[in-house]
Structure 1
């Protein structure tokens, strides 16, 4: 199942002077409780520097976050209600970029007279996955109704939220060779929040290594003959990071060959793409790819595969 389209041979950029920032990609919305929604987006990496992101509910602006952030909790919402959110980037000169694609979320019903918080998430563990990311996992909390979301804190600051059915995430956008303390709290529909367990203390690696868990996994490549020409069929699993991956760069024989940008909601399962490789049989190629992470930077490359046209792989 192919969900991406080619956008050329290299990532696009632009000079920031006199132009507004681009539209944020990868916008997603997750109900945090009966009265709140957690909105996330990918950093706008090209063009003028972003000073702030504005979040809209329909046509109304409901909040903003600094340019270094890519998440915001929208609060004081109505239970059992569907909402539509968009995000716009603003530069230091006040220029607003275009709206992002819409992200939809429905708040759950409010629990009647629910005064009990969920239990503390158990067995919270983590590990650094390179210089700018950590992987966290925990065992599920229990609640007298149900757990709607898990909030991840860095020190005393909430930095991320995932749905109540998720018990792991990769947090990106960290600094190299830096020690962090993370905790996880569970939240129910009535906005009751569990206590935090003991912090998980992790130190990111030195240098610019992105870490293998920011690389696409299960990468496969095979040759296919169609209408007298050979094509390379690629498939992979997106990296599991704290946001949505919308762009990939394919490297062929050591050089950037094409960039792929999703035209709609990106797949969270297996992704695939096929591109032209010429008419010559027996030509060998080396291919790998990497993802642009939600913080706007590139993750690690996948494993490299060698493919020969005319041979299955």
Structure 2
């Protein structure tokens, strides 16, 4: 799992579609298993979605079960729990894919005929695998997964079969070379190339390393041994040459250099830093290229909460909006929002503390549900030291509170859990809790007998506009399992060249100060098109209007740059044509703390009332020129009419030890004593930068 620095290891989702779902053309009744046709369950990608061979969208929602990666060389928990019962319970609870950590060392032992009978299996509790080698146990378990409609993903968690091996930053270690790593992947791919129970390979768990770490993982355009982008390409191409139907998952790294910085720098502040495996910023500059098989590529970040490590973004009054804006968007979520590739969050999870960790977990769960991001929860195992598991210590009883948090992020249809198998319902023959893909889609939306159109999208709004563009957002059609895209109409003309696969679209090249009428229609792969959404009229801004709906004005209330207080006065102005919800607006004043003392912020006066002004001081994960922290200013409530401003907001910052600042080079400070536009104090509406620019 991700360990930050060091460490261990219900709403129905897609169930709302049941109200208007098209009739399925079923070849089996729900709950009745049939033998799966060989090779009919392979998956591929399409934009930011994963689809089956017929182009039907699927949702991979699962969990991790570790142990094969460790010294025991077998699933943990089999010392008391039964392998069949545990597997069946996962299927019954909606786990449609299991991520299985292994080691390169274990795969090489299997390849060389050195599989041993593991000591971690209680033969009395597991008579079906008593006396079997670790490889035979794995094969028996794959057969169980096939019986219960579960798919499997392998993850090389470490080079060596070592309980702490995941903390090593790269994929080679000791006698295990990079070539051994590739060879192990080729062998296991070849062994299971005809078994579509094993549908995905996660190239390497959490490659990482800081500015001064050696070895460390980097991401660039080179063929260097430590370039993980090149490793993903090499391993992926070698696997896909054997089985072109596999999904290949590439995780991120830990750091990525800021603009103009070389990987040769050993200065921490020269890099953007995040969780191990969570930094996919490099994809924008250097995307993974799998050649002819690029439609098998999935990016797989990891993300954790403050109980794993108290990262800088968990300081102060953080929430889902700040996490999405400051952490998820720049590191990996942009890949989904820009329709570049699918995401599968390979690890997320933790203890339910009734506080910050649970707040983070709920926020990420809601993001996963809203965007239908694929995920495998960390983890099933109760013996994960800094997260706990879905099972309790008896390896039989489920943690019902934690499961209730996860359940909305498990694929459901008509109130039942959906298998990734076309014939076998999730839970197997006779299940009352699961269905198969054929139960959901019939013969697929491409079936010529399918004539049922999707329902129209609803809630069409315009969250942003400029003098030449309009951004539109809408709520997905309720039968969205059959929707393959949306079309946007300006008047009676379709304006999108390619299908819109998300629920936002920006129409560009418009005239200033002009009213436009928009509607949106949903369509499926069979060509069925919904009726139009309710129309929305939007008027573009006048020429010269800033790109956001707000701007910030600033004046300096303290002429001294070297005393013990920073005293900015701010105003927020609405530059748009409609009212702005102030609860969605936040500003950032960037400064240097000049020492180790904590900094406190105060509202001395606000025309809107200090009770409405929320302040928090946020340290940067890595200092930049002119700043190692920022003061975030947001609002508890309120509406700002078009053309109006908030009036004065007089703020003050002071250190806990009352020592002096040196503001001379602070990024957001100027010496103006009358209000002036302040692009060095960026403003956001929700997660969107609406004014100014943060420091590079």
Please, what TM-score do these two structures have when normalized by structure 1?
A: 0.40
Larger Rg: 2
Structure having the higher helix fraction is 2
Please, what TM-score do these two structures have when normalized by structure 2?
A: 0.21
Greater RCO between the two (CA within 8 Å, min separation 6)? 1
Structure having the higher strand fraction is 1
